[in-house]
Chain A
Amino acid sequence: MRIAKRSELSGNQIALVRLAAVFGALVFGGLFLIVLGENPITIYISMVKGGLGSFFRFRETVNIAIPLLITSLGVMIAFKMRFWNIGAEGQIFMGAFAATYLALNFSDLPKPLLLMMMGTASMVMGGIWLVVPAWFKARFGTNETLFTLMLNYIALRWVTYLQYSLWKDPNAMGFPKIASFGQNALLPKVFDIHIGWIIALVLIYAIYVYLNHTKTGYEIMVIGESEDTARYAGIDIKRVILKTMFLSGAVCGLVGMIQASGISGTLSVDLTGGVGFTAIITAWLSGLNPVMVGVVSFLFAMLRQGGSFIQTAYQIPASAAEILQALILFFVLASEFFLRYKVVLFKKKGRGI
């Protein structure tokens, strides 16, 4: 048996391999459930029901999907350039921090103006939070994976400080929380879901166009494929890195504003719910394609919402959904082998092909 490179597969074949991988992960997860003494089919069905079964649950699923989708788009832009932005958690926190500052201090401004300012501030802040490591990466080659990750912890400590000390609401009777936003700082709703979903759809389109139909989008792709080629082609790599990373961080920062203003109505240490990490999975699973990001994020949100449903229904910890998500990605990562290589079996007489 030997391994050989394979020529490019068609889009359909790629999709088929991916689907097979997801199926494999579900089967594997099912075996795990059998070990726990549960019927995997019942559990999977109730997870879907838990995610979509009623308007209330559907709305919850969409509410989970919105931040996941937008964050995935944000990290995806960075991944296109092979820049491992795993600092989305921090960018979300810092974006929310900037938006919260405005919401608490300028609550008298007219609603559209205040929301616009909050959105802009969150994007600038999130962008800065990623441009700093990007600059060091571009200038000195500093490892961006660890840099962005450490910035997550710093942002979390910072928000902890705000919540437990600096911005602690004196009217909360000693309970450590930041004051709730006024009416003018809350996102309006359309069809009973905050308008984050419209922002998400617009961003899918905008980022699709940006990556596929603009000069910078092309440059990003070239840098991601090969930095040497990009340099040879005369692309100003440093400028493209900084610009793209600002954009990536800004998109993640906006998630902070949306969560604070659309969901919790304030800033807290629980704001992100780990979305910055799940977004890495969804971005990769979708093959770094903005439209697929939308689909995968929605499915993952369903899984997550279904996960909390089975927790109450079957006393299976909600983290089972998290394990299942990681399993799916493991299987997809493994399946990529079959997209790039094929296994050739030697004939018995050793007449290799």
Chain B
Amino acid sequence: MNVISFLSAVVQAGTPLLFATVGEIFSQKVGNLNLGLEGMMLMGAVTGFAVGYGSANPILALLGAALAGMIGALVYAFITITLKGNQEVTGLTLTIFGTGYASFVGSSYVGYKLPENVTEAFAKVSFPVLSEIPVIGDIFFKQSVLVYFSYACVVFLGILLYKTKYGLNLRMVGENPAAADASGISVSRYKYFYVLLGGAMSGIGGAFLSLAYIPVWQENITAGKGWIAVALVIFAVWNPYRAVAGAYFFGGLDIIGFRLQKFSLPIPIYIINMLPYVATILVLVLMSIRKSKENKAPSSIGRAYFREER
């Protein structure tokens, strides 16, 4: 097995996870645990595919996917922020809704292939200059434009979170909404904005699967990736930079079974395919055992903010 080609495939497999994880980090940073990632990813995946198929326009396809994720997030935001509904159940419902929506819209596309100019737009291209770097260039800079976009998102959002006033404000909204409110920050506006951002990123993550990764439509294309992304948020301790490592690690686990298939292993392939899920559990358990101050979730997470109730 060629190590470089494997690692390059790992980056590809980790990209949808990376989009969704980083999006969810921001949603949780403002105090909203959105368990609807899987649903929003599916909505993005199927909408991106349908728009790409219908319009043969890659940019429209991507925008459609982001918009679909945002619409899902908007429903969630309205119920949990404005109407102060239960975040867990609303998120779960969003996943059920997204699954239904994807199978409804997708039922007429099963087995269809995207038009060539869409697949070409998202095919691997060498990034100027950087792709010349030995090893690193081959792994990270001979990828789809969407992969480059994911790098840009991580850097941009990381700076936003840690180096700007907005980042400070959004963290305050998640940690102590009453204090944020008192200091003149519009809690609802921040919550809406970042929950919708999370939706858009999940939608793009899903679209990466249907537009770039597997450009033939298939049912349940996400196969639990949205849920793994929720777990990755904990693994990354709400830090977008650490999400990169987590996403690629789990991307690797996702494809390792397929890669190992050609070797006759003593362990059945079905058992190897359990790896990402087993690893997710291990991560959850380990993170909960070594609880430290920095590893904690934003403290208002899961609770709606009601001004008269602080």
Contact of A323 among B84, B104, B270 (CB under 8 A): B104
> Hey, which chain B residues are within 8 Å of A154, CB to CB?
274, 277-278
Find the B residue at minimum CB distance from A82.
B88
Known: A158-B274, A330-B93, A333-B86. A142 touches B284 (CB 8 A): yes
Asked if B78 CB lies within 8 Å of chain A CBs, one says yes
Asked if B202 CB lies within 8 Å of chain A CBs, one says no
Asked if B126 CB lies within 8 Å of chain A CBs, one says no
Asked if B79 CB lies within 8 Å of chain A CBs, one says yes
Asked if B136 CB lies within 8 Å of chain A CBs, one says no
Give the CA-CA distance A146 to B21 in the complex, in Å: 14
Please provide the 10 A-B residue pairs with the shortest distance between their CB atoms, ordered closest to farther. Answer: A322-B100, A161-B270, A326-B97, A337-B83, A142-B288, A323-B100, A319-B103, A140-B288, A319-B104, A317-B107
Known: A136-B285, A317-B104. A160 touches B270 (CB 8 A): yes
Q: Would you call B274 and A157 a contact (CB within 8 A)?
A: yes
Q: Would you call A146 and B230 a contact (CB within 8 A)?
A: yes
> Hey, which chain A residues are within 8 Å of B99, CB to CB?
277, 322
Give the CA-CA distance A323 to B280 in the complex, in Å: 29
Chain A interface size range: 35 or more
Residues on A facing B (Cβ under 8 Å):
3-5, 84, 86, 136, 140-143, 145-147, 149-151, 153-154, 157-158, 160-161, 164-166, 277-278, 280-281, 284, 317, 319-320, 322-323, 325-327, 329-330, 333-334, 336-337, 340-341
Q: Would you call A165 and B270 a contact (CB within 8 A)?
A: yes
Give the CA-CA distance A4 to B268 in the complex, in Å: 59
Asked if B3 CB lies within 8 Å of chain A CBs, one says no
Known: A84-B88, A153-B274, A165-B268. A143 touches B234 (CB 8 A): yes
B286, chain A: closest CB distance, angstroms: 9
Please, how many residues of chain B have a CB less than 8 angstroms from a CB on the other chain?
Answer: 45
Known: A161-B271, A323-B104. A333 touches B277 (CB 8 A): no
Contact with A along B216-253 (1 / 0, CB 8 A): 00000000100100110010000000000000000000
Q: Would you call B90 and A333 a contact (CB within 8 A)?
A: yes
A68, chain B: closest CB distance, angstroms: 13
Contact of B281 among A5, A140, A150, A322 (CB under 8 A): A150
B24, chain A: closest CB distance, angstroms: 12
B contacts with A: majority SS: helix
> Hey, which chain B residues are within 8 Å of A84, CB to CB?
88
B21, chain A: closest CB distance, angstroms: 13
Give the CA-CA distance A140 to B291 in the complex, in Å: 9
Q: Would you call A146 and B227 a contact (CB within 8 A)?
A: yes
Asked if B71 CB lies within 8 Å of chain A CBs, one says no
> Hey, which chain A residues are within 8 Å of B214, CB to CB?
none
B90, chain A: closest CB distance, angstroms: 5
Find the A residue at minimum CB distance from B228.
A150
Contact with A along B93-112 (1 / 0, CB 8 A): 11111011101100100000
Contact of B285 among A142, A277, A284 (CB under 8 A): A142
Q: Would you call A322 and B96 a contact (CB within 8 A)?
A: yes
Find the A residue at minimum CB distance from B100.
A322
Q: Would you call B288 and A333 a contact (CB within 8 A)?
A: no
Find the B residue at minimum CB distance from A328.
B93
Q: Would you call A336 and B85 a contact (CB within 8 A)?
A: yes
Give the CA-CA distance A141 to B104 in the complex, in Å: 38
Q: Would you call B100 and A319 a contact (CB within 8 A)?
A: yes
Find the B residue at minimum CB distance from A148.
B281
Q: Would you call B79 and A320 a contact (CB within 8 A)?
A: no
A21, chain B: closest CB distance, angstroms: 11
Asked if B172 CB lies within 8 Å of chain A CBs, one says no
Asked if B92 CB lies within 8 Å of chain A CBs, one says yes
Q: Would you call B96 and A277 a contact (CB within 8 A)?
A: yes
Q: Would you call B93 and A151 a contact (CB within 8 A)?
A: no
> Hey, which chain B residues are within 8 Å of A86, CB to CB?
92
Give the CA-CA distance A220 to B98 in the complex, in Å: 32
> Hey, which chain A residues are within 8 Å of B85, CB to CB?
333-334, 336-337
Q: Would you call B268 and A340 a contact (CB within 8 A)?
A: no
